[in-house]
Amino acid sequence: MQCSNFFMVIVFVFIGQIDEHEVQVQAYRLDKRDCVVQDSNQNKYIGLKKRSMLNKVPFCSYQGIPYAEPPTGNRRFKDPIAVEPWGEERDARVEGSECMQIEPLFSMGKVIGSEDCLYLNVYTQHRSNASHPPKLKAVMVWIHGGGFVFGSGSGSIYGPDFLIDHNIVLVTFNYRLGAFGFLNLRNKDVPGNAGLKDQVLVLKWVQKNIQSFGGDPNSVTLFGESAGASSIQLHLMSGSSTGLFHRVIMQSGSVYCPWTFVRDPLARANQLANHLKLNSTDPCKLVQVLRNVSSYQLTVTQSELMKTEDMDRGFYFPFIPSTELTGTGTNFITEHPDLLLKSGRLMKVPTIVGVNSREGIMVLLGKNATPEVLETVDKNFQRVVPDILNLTPNSTKFKEVTDKIKRFYFRGGQLSWDSLENYVDLMGDIYFVAPIYRSMMNMIKKSPEPVYCYEFAFEGSRGLAKALTIAALPNVANISGVSHYDDIAYLFPVAIQGWEQEIVSSSMDRKTIDRLTMLWTNFAKTGNPNGSGFSLWDPHHPSRERYLYIGNDLEVRHRLFFQHRMNFWKDIYDNHSNNTEV
């Protein structure tokens, strides 16, 4: 099986699987009524009392709460439907199934999950039998990453232990992935973006029910990483999400990232049909057949669609968000994000947005980088030209841009093993940093609300993606910087068997966990990340450029991250594109 996802190669070097029994925070028995909640529909949930990992703060864990009817059978690919009230007690001590996927990080590349997967988890210090109603707490809703093809809200990875110490309410959840969540036939039956509409339904559930868990529905912060961050920016542009949240934190993702949005979703659907040897491109006939394909076969087949040249240009995932045809049901987005962002048609809310110091390290693992691999990349360098520039391949302008990029990143215009770090920076810039910078600057121009920018550069012992890269490719062990994904373990426990990381109270790892969770939860509570622990981070402004450098210390820098490289990409976008929407 050929896997389209560059994360998939991680399965060959991964050092263990999640053992939920080993990593689960030890529950302790108090009054059962402490963790019993009844929502607005009179549904009752029996949760589990726990203590947080670092500070032993007691909290209640409610897992496996259904927020939508199972999208199975004839509901496959359709917009989600809110779950019907069941009016009886429900055991909320076990998580619901993950959505269908090939999970490369924690399940050794196996097909896992179920189509019945639309569940959420709530973690709160709120006690249901408290003698006096407490003040409602700020709510943080986490949207997981994974390129829209894998991942979940699992407590084994995105557990509450670090954030719950700051007395917020945390919500994590699953949404449909791959073709199940993003097949778009541009008709009323399969209008597209079902996975994003799942997310909207979660936000509506939060508005209706979170007060029962001690959360404030008028103080909701969306935060997410990679595809989760891209999702958040799409929510800012969607009328379906208006009023459902009040602040956002976008980590290492943007609508401009080449793996976030597809221009022609029908072409991807027809590609799937051809791969399954279906003799029709008629959307009505196609969906009838696809609803009868097993969930296993559909999951495996979609991972085989993308070719090497597609992946070289950042098109790793065949089924991702796309524009919907107006009038095909309850639309999430009907215009291209470029147009919406540049015209300022987005929700204006306080925002944190940033990148890691060397996002492209993970790409080395995906390509199984060797001198021979880089030689092949050098021979086919034209593939790195971003599709968003809308340049005609082999045209004079296309060749000029290809040459310009190569000369900028590689002195002498030659890519080789000696210029590996330059290659990592190029890949990180194309897939993550430059698109994030581009969208960030557009948001700053169009929104009167504060936009706080950061670079996460702390190189501690909890960087999983970099550790896996070095394990697979020992000859890159000396590369510096923080890989894509490696900020996550400073917000969440990321508890994986075989990669246990002791957190010493006096260590820089612990200090960084405390700093990052403080900044994030301060922002969730007030819209300002500053507080008693730190008060120097100002929002960025075109006349007052600055960002927070999160390294061994917190340092405010009076410019923007990677300014020289970002100026280069600004020139490319502004002066060398055939796309007036860029």
Return the active site residues. Answer: 226, 359, 484
CA atoms 123, 124, 125, 126: torsion sign: negative
Distance (Å, whole) CA 92 – CA 213: 13
Strand order in the sheet with 44-46: 36-38, 44-46, 89-91
Could you give the count of Cα atoms lying within 13 Å of 166 in the half-sphere of its Cβ?
24
Could you give the count of Cα atoms lying within 13 Å of 493 in the half-sphere of its Cβ?
24
Q: Which residues pair with 124 in a beta bridge?
A: 60
Pairing of strands 137-143, 169-173: parallel
| SS3 (DSSP) at 358 | coil
Distance (Å, whole) CA 226 – CA 257: 9
Helix (H) or strand (E) holding 206: helix 194-209
CA atoms 482, 483, 487, 489: torsion sign: negative
Give phi and psi for 104, each to the nearest 5. Answer: -85, -25
Output the six-digit token pair for 83.
């779950």
DSSP string, 514-537: HHHHHHHHHHHHHS---BTTB---
CA atoms 208, 325, 300, 145: torsion sign: negative
Helices (H), 410-489: 420-428, 434-446, 464-472
Q: Which residues pair with 120 in a beta bridge?
A: 65, 173
350, 351, 354, 257: which is closest to 551 by C-alpha?
354
Which residues lie below 8 Å from residue 580, measured CB to CB, with a gap of 6+?
none
Distance (Å, whole) CA 247 – CA 65: 24
135, 162, 174: which is closest to 521 by C-alpha?
162
Strand order in the sheet with 48-51: 48-51, 58-66, 119-124, 169-173, 137-143, 215-225, 247-251, 351-356, 451-456, 547-550, 554-557
